[in-house]
Every structure is written in C-alpha cells, then in structure tokens.
Amino acid sequence: MRDRLLAAEKVKAIDWRDGTLYLLDQRVLPHEQTWQACDTALGVAQAISSMVVRGAPAIGIAAAYGLVLAVIERYAAGGDWQMALEEDFDLLVNARPTGVNLFWALNRMRERLYRLKDHEDPRAVMEAEALAIHESDREANLTMAQLGAELIRKHQGNLQTVFTHCNTGALATGGFGTALGVIRAAYIEGMIERVYAGETRPWLQGSRLTAWELANEDIPVTVTADSAAAHLMKTKGITWVIVGADRITANGDIANKIGTYHLAVAAMHHGVRFMVVAPSSTIDMNLASGEDILLEERDGRELLELNGHPVGAQVDAFNPVFDVTPADLIDAIVTEKGIVERPDTAKMAQLMCRKRLH
Ligand code: MRU
C-alpha cells in the first residue's frame, strides 16, 4: 500500500530549496498555480495569516522553515541572536490561533535550539530539524492512510460512499493528507465508490482544493453545498464522514473547519460513521476539552464578498472558521500511533504513551 500511495502522489505545496521556502498559493488554486517565495520569517507569517498556506500540519511545517529563515538572518547579524530570534518566534506563533501544529512545530524547533552544542552550526541544525518535521508528517500520513483504510474494511466490507469537508490532502499537510490520505488508500484498495466534498464556505477548500486533488487522481468526486450534507446522508447511502482536525483535546474533542460539528450531528442521526484523521502533533494534551480551544474568527467580508466583489447586503457578518465536535459524536480518531475508537480522556492518554507505528 505504501508504494502504491507513493506512486499516486501528484501534488506538492511546500518546497524548501537553497535557503528559500516556496509555497503553492492556495488562494488561487486550482485555476492558477503560482508559487510564492518566502525568505523571511515575516514573509512566512504573512503567508500563513493570509491563507497562502493552510491546513494545520502544513502551517506547522511552513512555520518551522520560517524559523530556519530567521536563524539564518539573526545568526549572520551576530550579537545576542538567540534573544533577537524570539521576535520571529512571536511573529510566527501568532500567525493563526486554532491549529496546534503551529505551536507544536515551533516549540520543537526552539527545544532543538536549546540543545545546540558549541561546535554545531545553528543554521544547519535548524534546517535539519525543519526537514525532519516535514518528513515525519509525510510518514505519519502514510501510516494513518493504511490504518484508516483497514478501519473502513473492518466495519463495512462493501463499496463506500464517503463525505469529506474542507481540504485535508497533500495541500494541507507534508504530503498525501490525513482524511484525504485515508480516502486515497481506501480508493486504491477498491473500497470507495464516490467521495462527496462539501464546498466549504467561505474559502471553498472543498470545491477548489479537495475536488482538484481527487480529480487529479481520477477518484470520483462530487461537490455539494455544505448545507446539503444531511440530505445526502439520507438519500445517497453515505457510510462514513471522514475529516481532519486542527486541534484535539485531552478528552477527544476536536476543532476542525466550521461545519464539521453539524456534519457529526447529522451523521449520528443517520447512523453514518464519523472518522477523524490527524497526526499526534495535532493532539493538545494541555487542554482538557474543546471548550478551551481558541476558535479563529476571520473578517466578515469573507462571507459577503466573492473574489473581492460584494455579493451580500452590506451588513454585519459573523465568520467563525472553526468549530468543536464533541468526542461523543466521534466513532474513531486515527493517528500514526494507532486508532482510538469512541474517544475519551483515558483512551487519549493511553494513545499518547504509545510509540509511532512507523
Ligand atoms: O482554514 P484552513 O483551510 O487552514 O482549515 C483547515 C482545516 O480545517 C483542515 O480540516 C485541518 O487543518 C486538517 S488538515 C490535515
């Protein structure tokens, strides 16, 4: 399976080359494929805030490379460069609030810096650490893809019709994807007949990005309005909702793209199984429950305009971009350390004690 997934890989969104970070601009996909070059931490922080790069794991990886750029610049300037680096750390850590992978990756980079030996070149050490974060996310996705596909096989043997939300593919991660990685693997194994992708208002990660990634691999995909999900569950024989997460708390609650919560409620009502796929870097054991997660709210104009053109009445608009799905609506959380079925605090703690499965 691993080899078949590797062979199917078509999309790459983060490229680190010769001391520059190149990001495939996700705001204009799929109709334009433009790469944005970043050579400062500020540039990377802005790319994260403005959604050039998005998806919790991809944001963490980009931020790690952003810190490498900062080390290169600060080290060359001399003086107390490690102190000066804190400014860059703050810039990056504040780029977006909800996905914990950003904080996880930056903390891992900072810890590596604290362990720096006198003879080591900080630029090379930090570059190696960022590359390792990137590579381990790809590996985690490969493992999760296989585990998730096995879970589908275990519960339902026949051809599945699945529903997914937002974009959790190669674009949102270090490669392959989380939920979309599972969908890819299950399709390769002949278990998936069709994928319904909610368009994911207002940024349209579903209709622009997920649909593009799946169509590139000839996986049958149908885009639908977000508000059609419950109707589809009733009429189209959907057996699984498969989504990613931006933060998972110690009790198994998850924050993900706005609309995930109502998908879980509708799935429970219709007897559709609900799978969350996320690497352990998305699990935040410091937060007891989803109530503690800071949920990003973006400018209301994102709801009232399309490509900068006003379409809605010029009134107040409330634009929360993530919501929390409580653990009791989740059938399984798939990570690279293993699967937690019917998550709760004890099972999440046990999972975090396990080693990665690859
Ligand atoms: O606002 P976005 O596009 O960054 O939101 C992304 C999501 O909500 C994804 O579902 C989540 O990050 C998981 S991606 C592997």
pLDDT tens digits, residue range 277-329? 999 999 999 999 999 999 999 999 999 998 889 999 999 999 999 999 999 99
- The answer, yes or no, to whether residue 7 has pLDDT greater than 90, is no
Q: Which residue, judged by its Cα, is nearest atom 15 of ligand 1?
A: 168
- β-pair partners for 276: 243, 333
- The answer, yes or no, to whether residue 354 has pLDDT greater than 90, is no
Of ligand 1's listed atoms, the one at least distance from the Cα of 180 is 15
Question: What is the full DSSP assignment across 38-91?
Answer: E-SHHHHHHHHHTTSS-SHHHHHHHHHHHHHHHHHHHHHH-SSHHHHHHHHHHH
pLDDT at res. 260: 98
Stretch 245-258: mean pLDDT: 98
Q: Could you give the CA distance from residue 235 to residue 63 in angstroms, rounded to a whole number?
A: 42
pLDDT at res. 187: 96
From the CB of residue 286, how many other CB atoms can be counted at a distance below 10 Å? 10
48 Cα: distance to centroid of ligand 1 (angstroms): 12
Kindly state the tokens that stand for 216.
Answer: 């590139």
pLDDT at res. 124: 97
Q: Could you give the CA distance from residue 189 to residue 302 in angstroms, rounded to a whole number?
A: 39
Q: Could you give the CA distance from residue 53 to residue 339 in angstroms, rounded to a whole number?
A: 28
φ, ψ of residue 249 in degrees (nearest 5): -95, 175
pLDDT at res. 159: 87
**3-state percent breakdown (helix, strand, coil) of the chain, nearest 5:** 45, 20, 35
Pocket test for ligand 1, best of 102, 257, 284 (most atoms within 8 A of CB): 257
Is 246 one of the catalytic residues? yes
Of ligand 1's listed atoms, the one at least distance from the Cα of 166 is 10
Lateral strand order in the sheet of 14-17: 14-17, 20-24, 35-38
Per-residue confidence at 122, pLDDT binned at 50, 70, 90?
A: very high
Q: Which residue, judged by its Cα, is nearest atom 6 of ligand 1?
A: 55
Choosing from 226, 246, 323, 331, which is the catalytic residue?
246
Cis peptide before 202 (omega within 30 of 0): yes
- The answer, yes or no, to whether residue 358 has pLDDT greater than 70, is no
Stretch 59-84: mean pLDDT: 97
pLDDT at res. 109: 98
Residue-wise pLDDT for 15-39, tens only, equals 999 999 999 999 999 999 999 999 9
Q: Could you tell me which residues come within 8 angstroms of residue 27 by beta carbon, excluding any fewer than 6 positions away?
A: 50, 51, 52
Q: Kindly list the protein residues whose Cβ atom lies closer than 6 A to any atom of ligand 1.
A: 54-57, 99, 166, 168, 172-173, 178, 205, 244-246, 256-257, 321
Q: Could you give the CA distance from residue 84 to residue 82 in angstroms, rounded to a whole number?
A: 5
For the entire predicted model, the pTM comes to 0.97
Residue-wise pLDDT for 333-353, tens only, equals 999 999 999 999 999 999 999
Mean pLDDT of the chain, nearest integer: 96
Would strands 20-24 and 35-38 be described as parallel, antiparallel, or unpaired?
A: antiparallel
63 within 8 A of 102, measured Cβ to Cβ: yes
Residue-wise pLDDT for 155-200, tens only, equals 876 789 999 999 999 999 999 999 999 999 999 999 999 999 999 9
Stretch 59-82: mean pLDDT: 97
Q: Could you tell me which residues come within 8 angstroms of residue 25 by beta carbon, excluding any fewer than 6 positions away?
A: 32, 34, 35, 36, 52
86 Cα: distance to centroid of ligand 1 (angstroms): 27
Q: Could you tell me which residues come within 8 angstroms of residue 5 by beta carbon, excluding any fewer than 6 positions away?
A: 142, 145, 176, 181, 184, 185, 188
Residue 123, class by beta-carbon neighbours within 10 Å (0-12 exposed, 13-18 middle, 19+ buried)? Answer: middle
54 Cα: distance to centroid of ligand 1 (angstroms): 6
81 Cα: distance to centroid of ligand 1 (angstroms): 33
**Count of residues for the chain?**
358
Q: Could you give the CA distance from residue 140 to residue 134 in angstroms, rounded to a whole number?
A: 10
pLDDT at res. 156: 74
